[in-house]
Amino acid sequence: MSKKLTVSFSPHIQDHMTLRSMTVETIGALCPAILVGLYFYGLRAVMIVVLSVIAAVAAEAGLARIMKKPSTISDGTAVLTGLLLAMLLPVGVPWWTVIIGAAVAIFLGRQIFGGYGGNPFNAVLVGYLILALSWPAAVETFYAPANIFQGLSPLFPLDASELPLGLLTYGDQGRVLEFYPLGLALIGGIPGGIGSTSVIALFLGGIYLLVRRIIPWQIPVGYLIGVFVFALIAWLADPSGIKYANPFYHVIFGYTIIGAFFIAPDYTTSPYTLPGMIIFGLGAGALTMIIRYWGAYQDGVFFAILFFNALTPVLDRIRFKSYGMAKVSS
Amino acid sequence: MANSNTQLIKPQAFRRGLDLGSIHPVAAQPIEEMPAPKRIYVSLKQHRGGWCMSDVSVGDQVKMGQILAEGADPDTAPIYAPVSGKVIAVGDHPDSTSGRMTPTVTIENDEADEWLNEPVTDAAFLDKNPTDLIRAVRSAGVVQSAGGRPLASMLSPSGHPQAYYFLVGKPVHKPVDLLIINALDHEPTIAVNRRLLQEKYDDLKIGIKVVEKIVAHKQSVLAVSDDIGIDAEAVRALSGEGIQTVVFHNRYPLAAPPLLTTAVTGKELPWPGGDPQDVGALVLTVEDILGILDAVREGRPRIDRVVTVRGPDIPPRNLKVRIGTTIEEVLKFVNASFDGTDKVVVGGVMDGVAQFSLHAPITKLSRAIHVISAKHLVEIAEDLCFKCGRCVEVCPMRLLPNVIGNLCEFGQFDEAEDAELFKCIECGCCAYVCPARRPLIHYFKHGKSELEAKRTAQ
């Protein structure tokens, strides 16, 4: 026997889950929501999604070449970033802003910190918020959904006060279901980002990720509880029921569901300790509601999550004590 | 033993670590005797401490059970000839436990299996006093198969601290209230303790009495895995002796003594460096207790052990193998084809040692041989940690493996020590789940060895 043996340190077996498989499954979980977006917004939505993914991948490949680092496209994170960014954007956004947003997300959001795993802030949010702050009119104008089978009408922009969250926060909350019937809201036929309106599709994708244990349950559950409880307290505090909306509306409308399942649990920018995750979820949920009620922005999901991204290193210090008694008994 | 003072033990659930599956076909394979091969390689380090000094030289005729080497350090255990024959070499040879060249005595087997002192059952062995019993355990050279601590140094005689110091050279006397009989296997793919429990429970009962005679504990608890269960014949037989049974789903690494002690007693040990005896418990595996019984009843030294053998092209087997049999001989005996062989691991697949040579021998510490084919090799990458937290979730010591791994990777060893590097038991759960495929155990071992080298230099 003169066979050469492989020698390595333990362990000698390994779980099947890799970054690549986790990313691929997350992209799979996003597919129902994207399909709903394509159904309501048609070919232009396809164009935005494809453009965003291509721009993100090209930025990742180009930066790897400039920095003379091995390409990391195969792990799928650039595709996922591009996809998520497109899902947040409204369908009428100019094509060049999509390219800028995706490239900025990869460059400023991720590669400048050393690649996936080094970034303090969620790369998708960096890309989106730079667009929202630079071209607010383009990014915050939403359009009435049409239907792919009825033949798509020209895009019909809506005023901020006509949007679901506008109705909720500008005191007209009693009428929100007149404009946007509950069934349609759950399926996603309401104004919003390309892939962020369908509660059912996003929820199914999120449950899939939870069941497969690709994301920890503490963050999405904590986030939804944070939003719901804060809205519930506000709703109960005002007996007239006019000023603050029914807490269910705040979970259904806006970016709440996509934020809870796909933006907040981003591995790198959320805590890794269990108590940290719970505080992160609850806190980001509550801050979302504070911004919705009293902030300058209609939807607080993104700024709330970004703020808690910054708190993540602190939250990571909240942990279980390690094994072992404090003192040796004699 | 079953007096009214004993409390009912309520085990705590162990939720961390990994579920590698408790039920495994290997646990149903009876133990088979493997004949001794032509040539035997006896490593002179089969325990926690340093090398033993060889008592034999080339050309000597040795008999089975003749002492080959011993050491003065209490962390060493004497080593005996597993076969009779002629010493043909004393020198460096690959070793399966350390994974490096180690002084080894090579014996050409004359196949006579002639004992120096034939083991005979001493009818009055239970009437001996504890000091004599410990002396018999010490001279038989039995060690814990996890870590290689000589068993004699774990058995402190009740009320004889001076005698204990004299025997094992350690000025510590810790009373034992609770004996935990560990019938769990370190990993589900190994079945040594589960097989011995099922096949030798009568001997185990006597062995427990021997341990009771020495340490005078008040209560015994049998920890079994759920694939054996509370209704097994062996478990019922032991329950009849007043031994409480606790059933665990064998999540890896629950069988590690500190974690098992905590799961049974609810108390955590001082860590790092603590011992179950610090909370009044003594953890002995079924294998350990049977080794103690052989030593005191027959004066039979440790010359063979049970090894689980697994490979891609062979059914799993449990073999009783002479110490010093090479891995190659064992694999030939089970008709492994060697075609797909790419890695051979002695010990468990989670924390065993990958071998560089098939000529490395079985030692007292070799619980299993795993053959791994090229297509099942682990991937290793040097990508950044992306803080998914899966390692934090599984770590049985509740550490932050990601943080410690990063610090060790970039040479910040003092910071790693502050992050409690030395609490790590190197079970491998973190590296098993890591989706970035970071070689975390490598980083931890590197960090520990750097820090220990620095301490020695000071």
Kindly report, residue by residue over B285-313, the tens digit of the pLDDT. 999 999 999 999 999 999 999 999 998 88
Least Cα distance to A37 among A111, A76, A93 occurs for: A93
DSSP strands (E only) in B166-276: 178-182, 219-225, 244-248
How long is chain B? 458
Q: Tokens in use for A215?
A: 């994301």
Residues 6 or more apart whose CB falls under 8 angstroms from that of B181 comprise B204, B208, B220, B221, B222, B223, B238, B243, B284, B285, B286, B289
Query: Nearest-CA residue of chain B relative to A215?
Result: B388
Q: How confident is the model at residue B31 (pLDDT cuts 50, 70, 90)?
A: very high
Q: Which residue has the tokens 């690649």?
A: A115
**What phi and psi values does residue A303 have, to the nearest 5 degrees?**
-65, -35
pLDDT at A94: 93
Place of tokens 């079985």: B362
H or E segment to which residue A209 belongs = helix A199-211
The residue among A177 and A118 whose pLDDT is bigger is A118
Give phi and psi for A87, each to the nearest 5: -70, -25
Q: Which of A5, A10, A14 sits opposite B355 (nearest CB)?
A: A5
Mark yes or no for CB contact A8/B343 under 8 Å: yes
Q: Which region among B21-30, B126-135, B249-258, B431-440 has the lowest average model confidence (pLDDT)?
A: B21-30
Tell me the per-residue pLDDT of B375-395, one tens digit each, with 9 for 90 and over: 888 989 888 999 999 999 999
Q: How far is B355 from chain A (nearest CA, A)?
A: 6
Chain B residues with CB-CB distance to A319 below 8 A: 392, 398, 400
pLDDT for position A175? 74
Furthest C-alpha separation in chain A: 86
Q: How far is A23 from chain B (nearest CA, A)?
A: 11
For testing contact with chain B, the best of A112, A323, A327 (most B CBs within 10 A)? A323
- The stretch A97-124 carries a mean pLDDT of 94
pLDDT by residue (tens digit) across B137-172? 999 999 998 888 899 888 877 665 555 555 555 555
Residue A73, min C-alpha distance to chain B (Å): 13
Amino acid at A323: Y
What value does the mean pLDDT take over residues A172-184? 78
Please, which pLDDT band fits residue B402 given cuts at 50, 70 and 90? very high
pLDDT of residue B190: 92
B15 close contact with A: CB closer than 8 A: no
DSSP for A272-313 reads -SHHHHHHHHHHHHHHHHHHHHHSSSS--HHHHHHHHHHHHH
Best of B172, B176, B392 to disrupt the A interface (most A CBs within 10 Å) is B392
B271 touches chain A (CB under 8 A): yes
Q: Do B420 and A17 touch (CB under 8 A)?
A: no
* Interchain proximity B356–A5, CB inside 8 Å: yes
Across the interface, of A18, A277, A328, the residue whose CB is closest to B278 is A328
Whether B371 and A255 have beta carbons less than 8 Å apart is answered as no
Task: Label residues B422-433 b or e (16+ Cβ within 10 Å = b).
Answer: bbbbbbbbbbbb
Chain B positions touching A9 (Cβ under 8 A) are: 354, 439, 441-442, 445
Question: What's the pLDDT at A154?
Answer: 59
Among residues B150, B212, B223, the alpha carbon closest in space to that of B182 is found at B223
The one-letter amino acid code at A317 reads R
HSE-CB of B379 using CA atoms within 13 angstroms = 13
Looking at residue B3, its pLDDT comes to 46
Q: What percentage of chain A has pLDDT greater than the value 90? A: 62
- The answer to whether the CB of B253 falls within 8 A of the CB of B396 is yes
User: Which residue in A7, A14, A323 is closest to B398 by CB distance?
Assistant: A323
How far is the C-alpha of A215 from the C-alpha of B440, rounded, in Å?
Answer: 22
Q: Mutating which of A3, A13, A217, A319 best tests the B interface, going by the most B Cβ atoms within 10 A?
A: A13
Amino acid code (one letter) for B188: P
pLDDT tens profile A232-243: 998 898 877 677
| H helical segments located in A19-140 | 19-41, 43-66, 77-88, 95-107, 123-134, 136-139
For residue A271, the chain B residues in CB contact (below 8 A) are 389
CB A107 within 8 A of CB A63: yes
Cα–Cα distance for residue pair B345/B377, rounded to 1 Å: 12
Split at pLDDT 50, 70, 90, the class of B84 is very high
pLDDT of residue A151: 56
Q: B77 pLDDT band (50/70/90 cuts)?
A: very high
Residue of chain B minimizing CA distance to A269? B387
Please judge whether B354 and A22 are an interchain contact, meaning their C-beta atoms are less than 8 angstroms apart.
no
Chain B stretch 85-104, residues whose beta carbon is closer than 8 A to a beta carbon of chain A: 99
Compute the nearest-CA separation of B111 from chain A (Å). 24
Q: Does B270 touch chain A (CB under 8 A)?
A: yes
- Calculate Rg over the CA atoms of chain A: 21
Contacts of A13 in chain B (CB under 8 A): 349-350, 376, 378, 432
Strands (E), B234-298: 244-248, 281-285
Q: Give the alpha-carbon dihedral of B438, B439, B444, B446, to 10 degrees.
A: -130
Q: Is the pLDDT of residue B5 over 60?
A: no
Give the pLDDT confidence score for residue A283 in this predicted structure: 97
Return d(Cα B432, Cα B391) in angstroms, integer: 9
Residue A23 Cα distances to A73, A80, A116, A214, angstroms? 11, 7, 12, 9
In a mutational test of the B interface, the residue from A10, A315, A316, A319 whose CB has the highest number of chain B CBs within 10 Å is A10
Q: How far is the C-alpha of B72 from the C-alpha of B65, rounded, in Å?
A: 19
Distance, CA of B357 to CA of B98 (rounded, Å): 12
CB < 8 Å from A in window 315-344 of B: 328, 338, 341-344
B418 φ/ψ angles, rounded to the nearest 5 degrees: -65, -30
Query: Chain B contacts of A322, Cβ < 8 Å?
Result: 397-399, 420, 423
* A10/B353 CB distance under 8 A: yes
Nearest Cα residue to B291 out of B167, B175, B164, B139: B139
Residues of chain B with pLDDT > 70: what percent? 94
Question: Chain A residue with minimal CA distance to B437?
Answer: A18
The DSSP annotation for B51-110 comes to PPEE---TT-EE-BT-EEEE-SSTT---EE-SS-EEEEEEEEEE-TTTSSEEEEEEEEE-
pLDDT at residue B22, as a whole number: 59
Are B270 and A324 an interchain contact pair (Cβ–Cβ within 8 Å)?
A: yes
Largest CA distance in chain B: 64
Question: What's the mean pLDDT in B356-385?
Answer: 91
Phi, psi of B316 (to 5 degrees): -65, 140
Which one of A12, A15, A328 has the shortest CB-CB distance to B274?
A: A328
Closest by CA to B370, choosing from B353, B357, B394, B392, is: B353
Which of A74-78, B18-22, B315-319 is the least confident region?
A: B18-22
Tens digit of each residue's pLDDT (9 = 90 or more) over B119-131:
888 888 888 888 8
Q: Which residue has the higher pLDDT, A86 or B312?
A: A86
Residues A261-289 have a mean pLDDT of 96
The answer to whether the beta carbons of residues B386 and B366 sit under 8 Å apart is no
Residue B179, beta-bridge partner list? B220, B282
Chain A residues within an 8 Å CB radius of B396: 323
Q: What are the structure tokens assigned to A127, written together?
A: 């890309």
What ipTM was assigned to the predicted interfaces of this complex? 0.90
Provide the edge-to-edge strand list for the sheet that holds B61-62: B39-43, B101-109, B85-94, B61-62
- Interchain proximity B428–A11, CB inside 8 Å: yes
Task: Please say whether the beta carbons of A270 and A233 come within 8 A.
Answer: no
The answer to whether the Cβ–Cβ distance between B445 and A216 falls below 8 Å is no
- pLDDT at residue B367 in the model: 93
Distance separating alpha carbons of residues B179 and B221, to the nearest angstrom: 6
CA of B425: which chain A residue's CA is closest?
A: A323
Q: What is the mean pLDDT of residues A180-187?
A: 86
Query: Nearest Cβ partner of B445 from A9, A17, A277?
Result: A9
A142 contact partners, CB below 8 Å, separation of at least 6: A90, A157, A158, A163, A191, A192, A193
Cβ-defined contact of A12 to B349 (cutoff 8 Å) = yes
What is the share, in percent, of chain A residues with pLDDT greater than 70? Answer: 93
CA B435 to chain centre: 30
Report percent pLDDT > 90 for chain B.
61
Query: Is the preceding peptide bond at A220 cis, omega within 30 degrees of 0?
Result: no
pLDDT tens-digit readout, B313-346: 888 999 999 999 999 999 999 988 777 678 999 9
pLDDT of amino acid B91? 92
27-56 in B: which are within 8 Å (CB) of A? none
Model pLDDT for residues A305-323, shown as the tens digit of each residue: 999 999 999 999 999 999 9
pLDDT of residue B194: 92
**What pLDDT, on a 0 to 100 scale, did the predictor assign at position B159?**
62
Does residue B349 or residue A177 have the better pLDDT?
B349
pLDDT band at A21 (very low <50, low <70, confident <90, very high): very high
The nearest alpha carbon in chain B to A317 belongs to B400
Least confident of A161-165, A195-199, A207-211, B320-324: A161-165
From B274, B351, B384, residue closest to A115, measured CB to CB: B384
The pLDDT of residue A87 is 95
Q: Identity (one letter) of the amino acid at B333? A: F
Q: Which of B388, B424, B425, B433 to mutate to test the interface with A (most CBs of A within 10 A)?
A: B388
